[in-house]
Structure 1
Amino acid sequence: MAGAELEDLCSHINEKISHVKIILQLKNIGQDPALKTAFWKIRNEMTLLNDLLNKLELELQYQEHIRNSLRELQESLDRNYKEIRNLAENIPPHLPKVVQSCVVEPNVNLEEQVKITASEHSKKPPKEQKPIKEILLLTSDEFDNVPGYMKSRLTYCQINDFIKEINKAVASKYRILYLPKKTMNSSIRNLYHRFIEDETKDTKRHYFVVEADIKEFTNLKIDKRFHVLLNILRHCRRLSEVRGGGLVRYVIN
């Protein structure tokens, strides 16, 4: 038993001595000028290899994140597909009428007053009224082609809602201009004269509004967002401006 332990001890000591010899040999090799260059190259390669392994680890983490995101997206698509299939298989026999999502609440004030005044005072059958020009709503392609810096966070629906409000101001204004003068009350007559004074030789035979008309017939605020929306309509060639006499006239193209 004691002999076996002695052999193990001798073997352990010999192993240590062998390690020391190898270390001394490597130390001597490292001091050899001819091999120093090779050692430095190996050291640089080890450093580059370590950097590469770090980058590889980061890339693996990123790919794992992408995989998890795609898995969540796939699960969401599967749920949506099941819901759509369920809806398709259970379509009711009678569907309600489609209502547009871009709804603008009607502004009841002078516009209604114009209709009431005309109906109360006109004894003769009303003549067919001239068609009032409107701004065409933007198409989805036009909206997509508006530069991002110009439309910022505005949505397609918001821009078309704005167009509807401007059209409402135009319609209210020109409804008054087309009224017979004898059917006008004092407030309508004052508006009529202001509309006439706002006209210039450049706006003849054109439909236009000014900020006062927009304030009169809509709930729009004349603020920074208002001018951003106008800039988009000018970009899409829906409106142009005629300036003069301290007024900006927004002319429908």
Structure 2
Amino acid sequence: MTHCELEDITMHLNNRISSIRRVLELRAIAKDQDKRIILEKIGQDVLAIDGLLDQFEKCVVRQKDLLKHLKELEGFFQEDVQDGKHLRDNKPTHMPGKGQQALHGGGPLSESKPADVQTAQQEKPRKTPKNHIREMEFITSVEFESIPQYMKGRETYDQLNAVVQNINKALTGKYKIVHQSAKP
């Protein structure tokens, strides 16, 4: 046995001996009726304090769980903030800025020509013929190249233009039906 282990065993035995002495002293005190009432009150107080400690421990466990969940939420919100900052800093060129309106051309806005934007807004909108069907414009290779890399892998240039062509066919078919006369 090492010296530390021997000291630990000695301390443990001394603690046990002192506990037994206290019990014997309390037993002798408990024989006196007045002191017995005081000991019972102390016992009730100890039980009440034990119950309060149990409630406190449960509350601490709940607070730890809540703190863990709040830290997870904070992590999610930090990711959302980073995504928002990324979106703000890397806004696509075809989206209008503050106070600007998107042009009806569907192409990307040119930030180097603000005078063109103002003249386009000042012009009166052209009246289109009643039977004119406005179709979506095909995506140009320049527009396709400006798409973020993580979105490019999902669809190819040809697939996107095929979808635009199908939408245009559907619109043409719809408006042909809408513009038909109601007479049988």
TM-score by length of 1: 0.31
Q: TM-score, normalised by structure 2?
A: 0.42
Which is bigger in relative contact order (C-alpha 8 A, separation at least 6)? Answer: 1
